Structure 1
Amino acid sequence: MFQRDFIMNEARKFALMLAKLLGLKAEGEYEEYLKYFNEVLDEEYNAELEGLLKLDEEGFKKHLIDAGYTSEKLNALGQMFYVFAEPFNNDDKTAGILDKVLIIFNLLETQHHYESFDNITKRNTIYNYFKNTHDRT
């Protein structure tokens, strides 16, 4: 019972955090959005945005595995990066962020046996982005 309550509280906390991030971004409060994004990364993931973005794919995957995040925490990170990448500009920075989202989704599926329709839809959107802008699938 305690573990279930803990998981529900974690999921609720991350849902509220994502809602706040989405709201700030939608309202055009980019400075506040970026500040809160970095606070969440620091407090919840003990990480910095720039440090995570600089990691290559293998380094990023290793970092995630070594950190041992729960599936809820890992999924929240994937959602945060997905929102951060929007509106999917045709540039290397966006492509790099979306590659990291795919790494997170792959880890969720292979290591945590976690799949969701939302992540499948986002994965397909990312594949379409790469197909249309970077000529890769």
Structure 2
Amino acid sequence: MYLTDMVVDEARRMALIIAKLLGIKATGTFDEYRQEFNNILESEYNTELEKLIHLSQEDFDSLIKGDLYSSEKLNALSQMLYVFAEPFERNEETQLLLKKVMAIFDVLEEKYHFQSFDNLTKRSAIYGYFNIKL
């Protein structure tokens, strides 16, 4: 019971963080949004956006496959990176972010057996961005 409460609290906290970011993205400046995004990455994941973007795919895969983050934190990270990448512009940063989102979705499905309609919809949008046929 106690573990369930902790998981629910963690999921609720991550949802509030994502909601806060969405609010800033909608009403604030891009610099303010990027700064808050980095603050959250630093406090929750001990990293920053530039490091994540330029982390090799192999190193990123090792990071997310380890036991450092719970499934809730990984799901929240995928949501944050996805929202940050929107609107999907044709540039290297967006491509790198979306590849990392896909890697997180893969780990969530394979390691944690976690799937959601939201993630499936986002996966489909990413496939569309890369012009991958389902």
Which bin holds the TM-score, normalised by the shorter protein? over 0.9
Deviations 1:50-72 (A, max 9, x none): 11111121111112223521100
Count of matched residue positions in the alignment of Structure 1 and Structure 2: 133
Overall identity of the aligned pairs, in %: 50
Paired AA for residue 85 in structure 2: A
Which aligned runs of 4 or more in structure 1 are off by greater than 6 angstroms?
none
- Taking the TM superposition and a 5 Å limit, the aligned residue runs for 1:1-137 are 1-66=1-66, 68-131=68-131, 136=132
**Which ranges in structure 1 are unaligned for 5 or more consecutive residues?**
none
Deviations 1:62-109 (A, max 9, x none): 122235211000000000000010010011211111000000000000
Paired AA for residue 128 in structure 1: G
**Which ranges in structure 2 are unaligned for 5 or more consecutive residues?**
none
Residues in 2 aligned to 1:38 and 1:99: alpha-carbon distance in whole angstroms: 19
Residues in 2 aligned to 1:71 and 1:78: alpha-carbon distance in whole angstroms: 10
1:33 to partner: Cα distance? 1.2
Deviations 1:14-37 (A, max 9, x none): 111000101111114222211111
Q: What's the TM-score once normalised by structure 2's chain length?
A: 0.94
